[in-house]
Amino acid sequence: MRLLALAALVGVIHIHHAPSHDSCAPFEDVLAAAYAAELDFLVLTEHIRPDAKGPLPAAERAGLYTRPDGSPLLVLVGAEFGTQDGHLLAFDIPGVIPVEGRPGREAIGAIHAAGGFAVVPHPFAYGGWQDWDAPFDGIEVHNHVVVLRRALGPLLPFRLLRRAFDREGSLRSLLVRPDRELDAWEKLLMSGRRVAAFSGADAHQNVSLLGWQLDPYLEVFRSVQTLCPDGPLEEEALWQVLRSGACWIRYRFYEDRADEATEVRFPSGRVELQLDRGRRVLEIRPPPLAPP
């Protein structure tokens, strides 16, 4: 039996809501789902309009909230930019910086200059990421929308039917190990780069069929989570720990199968708890990285 790593702070990263052009979901929905999923933190990342200036969209949502049972929830606000080399998440930046539409490495340079760090989301989807030598600080190895999009295709009617009657089974068929993304991360680490891996919810709560919400925040928030080592639940401290590469990813959806998991260590030093002979993964842990 393999023990799950002890989590101190549990959160979800890469969330869109109404300030993004492709979501109408109110902040109250995000908050209610985060409370119900028992999260300690969440990170909003709205899309940035090309002409945007000033504070980040939803910047006013940042801060500490108290859920009905009295426990705290920290909301952090980053952003998702569009660059010539693909989408780019920017974290711990003071406001909108003019990187929209610029080459990826210029955008990353500007994010660094503003004191922030940059994470490549969905590196092989939505046009993917082009410039792998650019100095990004992290990549998403899991992106929940990419996972849900696996349901699209000729089997979609069958999958929708299955989802209606067997939600767990339908998610299980989609939540498989992200082989390509994990290979890319391993390659970056082996080349000596210090790159952190993230799971992105990319939650929009914007897909519904005849009033049936197919991507409710709560389901997304409960499926795959980011776990961080103990530390104060405070904005700067949490940005610091996310940036440090010390956090890990847990497929909470598979948590009750921890007894079956096999620990696999990779040449870079990173570790996975795998299920179903490597077809699925329960936990993705970072390699021990020296402080930056």
Distance CA 198, CA 144 (A): 11
As measured in angstroms, the least distance from the Cβ of 80 to Zn ion is 5
As measured in angstroms, the least distance from the Cβ of 201 to Zn ion is 9
238, 63 in Cβ contact below 8 A? no
As measured in angstroms, the least distance from the Cβ of 14 to Zn ion is 6
Nearer Cβ to Zn ion (80/283): 80
For binding to Zn ion (CB under 5 A), which residues are involved? Answer: 80, 87, 121, 202
What is the per-residue DSSP string for 30-95?
HHHHHHHTT-SEEEEEEEPPTT--SSPTTGGG-EEEE-TTS-EEEEEEEEEEEETTEEEEEES-SS
Distance CA 40, CA 129 (A): 30
Nearer Cβ to Zn ion (80/219): 80
Distance CA 151, CA 131 (A): 28
Nearer Cβ to Zn ion (100/202): 202
As measured in angstroms, the least distance from the Cβ of 204 to Zn ion is 7
Residue 256's contacts (CB-CB under 8 Å, 6 or more residues apart) are none
244, 9 in Cβ contact below 8 A? no
Local structure of 15: helix, strand or coil: strand
As measured in angstroms, the least distance from the Cβ of 127 to Zn ion is 9
Distance CA 183, CA 180 (A): 5
Radius of gyration in angstroms for the set of CA atoms belonging to the chain, rounded to a whole number: 18
As measured in angstroms, the least distance from the Cβ of 122 to Zn ion is 6
Distance CA 121, CA 124 (A): 9
Nearer Cβ to Zn ion (127/269): 127
Nearer Cβ to Zn ion (124/266): 124
H-type alpha helices, the chain: 27-36, 104-113, 144-149, 156-165, 167-174, 179-190, 217-223, 235-244
User: Which residue number is nearest to Zn ion in terms of Cβ?
Assistant: 87
Distance CA 272, CA 54 (A): 41
As measured in angstroms, the least distance from the Cβ of 141 to Zn ion is 15
Nearer Cβ to Zn ion (96/273): 96
Nearer Cβ to Zn ion (80/215): 80
